[in-house]
Chains A and B, each alone.
Chain A
Amino acid sequence: MKIGVVTFPGTLDDRDAARAVRRAGGEAVALWHNDADLHAVDAVILPGGFSYGDYLRCGAISRFSPVMEPIIKAAQGGMPLLGICNGFQVLAEAHLIPGALTRNHELHFLCKDQKLRIENTDTAWTSSYSPGQEIVIPLKNGEGAYMCDDQTLAVLEGEGRIVARYVGENPNGSRNLIAGITNERGNIVGLMPHPEHAIDSLTGPSADGLGFFTSVLKSLVTGSTK
């Protein structure tokens, strides 16, 4: 199974995302922001970093990169798509998921190991976890506060579309402790913390993040996005 990992100018975590894909047993395919072709990948990861220097708004310029056009089209057709951190911001700017990511409430850039609770295990990216499972993976962001209007929040809560929630104190001011959400279909997931940095206890706080990458391979094999 081929998982594309996009590199925008300013992307930082593409290497770790590709390594996580390989560790999970998939083939990682490097996609360049200027590619208008997805090289026959089965799923795509938009990794973290500071694409286009975070100019204008985080993800606002990357969202119009040539590679995004086929990605948006494929994801709307059901292709699994994971946006991590800056990738989550790109998904929000592309309106593939509702809401927006704004400045952390205390303005500090965060870099810490964070406990999360996985709340939706029916997505293409979370089926390897058990409902309510708590994991610890790195969280590093300056603009990670998830914001949306009350109506959207009620829909997300009502439809179980909150994929992961922060456990304990709210690290960045996200509404309802939201760390990650999914679209209606469950193939697109945006996540602020970094599972790709936690696939091996030698180099991360745990190996808890690997589940995101094994999940997508499993969903591709079984041919379901749910």
Chain B
Amino acid sequence: MAKIVVDVMLKPEILDPQGKAVAAALPRLGFTFAKDVRQGKRFEIEVDGEPTQAQLAEVEKAAEKLLSNPVIENFTVRVEK
């Protein structure tokens, strides 16, 4: 079943202490690939049947009003099969 996925990330200019803590933990475990890590949130929204354009527009509104705080966060909305 298809679902609507909303990814919420802190804006690039906002400090992300959680991402920094993850970035600091990786090399301690021998993973040396990370130059930087940012941590975000992912929402998976199920709807009846295939998501419609109208539903996606509603999800955009909800993402702006509730799922993200536009003062500090950006979001993207997409459909995942």
Contacts and interface: CB of A to CB of B under 8 A. Distances in A.
Chain A binding surface SS class: loop
Given A107-B18, A149-B13, A102 B66 contact: no
A87 interface: no
B30 to A, nearest CB: 23
B15 to A, nearest CB: 7
Contacts, number: 36
A109 interface: no
B12 to A, nearest CB: 12
A220 interface: no
Contacts of B66: 56, 60, 64
Contacts of B67: 56
A92 B71 contact: yes
B13 A107 contact: no
B72 A147 contact: yes
Interface string A73-102: 000000000000000000011010011101
A100 B17 contact: no
Q: Can you list the 3 inter-chain pairs with the closest CB atoms, starting with the nearest?
A: A100-B72, A100-B71, A103-B17
Interface of A: 56-57, 60, 64, 92-93, 95, 98-100, 102-107, 145, 147-149, 173
Given A99-B71, A100-B69, A106-B17, 14 more contacts: A56-B67, A60-B66, A60-B69, A93-B69, A98-B71, A100-B71, A102-B10, A102-B72, A104-B17, A105-B17, A107-B18, A147-B14, A147-B15, A147-B71
22 contacts: A57-B69, A60-B69, A92-B71, A93-B69, A98-B71, A99-B71, A100-B69, A100-B72, A102-B10, A102-B14, A102-B15, A103-B17, A103-B18, A104-B17, A105-B15, A105-B17, A106-B17, A107-B18, A107-B21, A145-B15, A149-B13, A173-B17
